[in-house]
Amino acid sequence: MHDKKFATRAIHAGQNADPVTGATIMPIYATSTYTQEAPGEHRGYEYSRTGNPTRTALEECLASLEGAKYGLAFASGSAATDAVVNLLKQGDHLVSCAEVYGGTFRLFTGVYERWGLELTHVNSSKTEDFRSALTKNTQMVWLESPTNPLLNIYNIKSIADLAHENGALMVVDNTFATPYLQNPLAMGADIVVHSTTKYLNGHSDLIGGAVVTSSLPLYNKMSYFQNAVGAVPSPFDAWLTLRGIKTLQVRMEAHQRGAAKIADQLQSHPMVERVYYPGLEEHPGHQLAGKQMRGWGGMVSFKLKDPSMVDSFFRKLHLFAVAESLGGVESLACHPYTMTHATMPEAKREALGITPNLVRLSVGLEDPADLMAELQKSLE
């Protein structure tokens, strides 16, 4: 299936007709356990925490889309992150880009540092600044690209090369770009993480996560954590994610068409201080994104010139739901300072540029003209 085009793999990878009934669509295997012929003699499944056919189909599909050999599905993006960081041990050093999803920051600082993980955040997209952060004990480098919420772009290949020179693993959270727009494994990453809650599912009706890799030793370790910890998706959530993935290509094309139009118009609005969107030539990561991505994505962030406008701006929105999360068919507007990144210390937020006047938009599939008209009205 790896030789097929993206849309074909999204619809068919891991999803052959059901061998029992011939069902074209993968069934929801709503079972907790499986009858064995005799003790230890089973058909590949024993218990649904360990494995479930619907989940297996999702894992195989996700691996195919990322050009990986192995996939693992989890109950949330945070659970997927947890399985990856569990590869480390007490005293190991993790280097991460400073601007990460608030839940990732919370997990790194509120859980793993307390358990003895050494952590360095790099507030720069320059590869040389990552080199300076590495120590002889660095075992993992963690990137988001584009980042949440300011959409900074990192050179995945050069930082992966640097990590490998130092004997460290390279991990990329690819949630914002999706496998349709970017494949970090092809650029040297060892592991890719997703919140399948977002674009992969695309309909804001489940929570899920995923990890993919082409390393059998890494897969075996993370598979052990998946089973031991038990943070796995239900068969129904796995099935919903599979259904969402079938339309990922057409959705992402529409998301980024709308986002590009909105970013362009916001850029010239007198009430907007700055727009963050990789598709804009003024974006500092524009050229790099053009090389390592196949599109600009559906996320747009911007800063209001007048911070006192923030409350009234959000209260006037209707088509844009004021909500956390992203990547659904409906448009969402988020205030990272008080919502997704509220657990970050205030000084940290300010240093990163996550200020009270920052707005993050997940541009949905509504008509871009209607969305822009609402933004114009809210900015008045």
**Catalytic center residues:** 49, 101, 173, 198
Residues 139 and 280: their CA atoms lie apart, in Å, by: 35
Structure tokens belonging to residue 330: 């409906």
Q: Considering Cα of 362, then 191, then 185, then 76, what sign does the dihedral take?
A: negative
In the chain, alpha helices (H): 6-12, 53-65, 77-85, 102-107, 127-133, 156-165, 178-181, 216-229, 235-245, 248-267, 286-292, 310-315, 346-352, 368-379
Phi, psi of 287 (to 5 degrees): -65, -40
- Chain centre to alpha carbon of residue 278: 16
| DSSP for residue 185 | G
Residue with tokens 């993919």: 212
Distance of alpha carbon 41 from alpha carbon 62, whole angstroms: 29
Residue 190 contacts residue 216 (beta carbons within 8 Å): no
CA 308 centroid distance within chain: 31
Lookup: tokens for 214: 């082409």
Q: For residue 37, what are its two tokens?
A: 């012929």
Measured CA distances, 305 to 44, 167, 357 (Å):
59, 45, 7
* CA 142, 146, 5, 240 torsion-angle sign: positive
Question: Residues near 47 by Cβ (< 8 Å), separated by ≥ 6?
Answer: 32, 33, 34
The alpha carbon torsion through 64, 68, 73, 77 (nearest 10 deg) reads -110
Give the full edge-to-edge strand order of the sheet including 321-322: 272-276, 299-304, 358-362, 332-334, 321-322
Token pair for residue 154?
């990192």
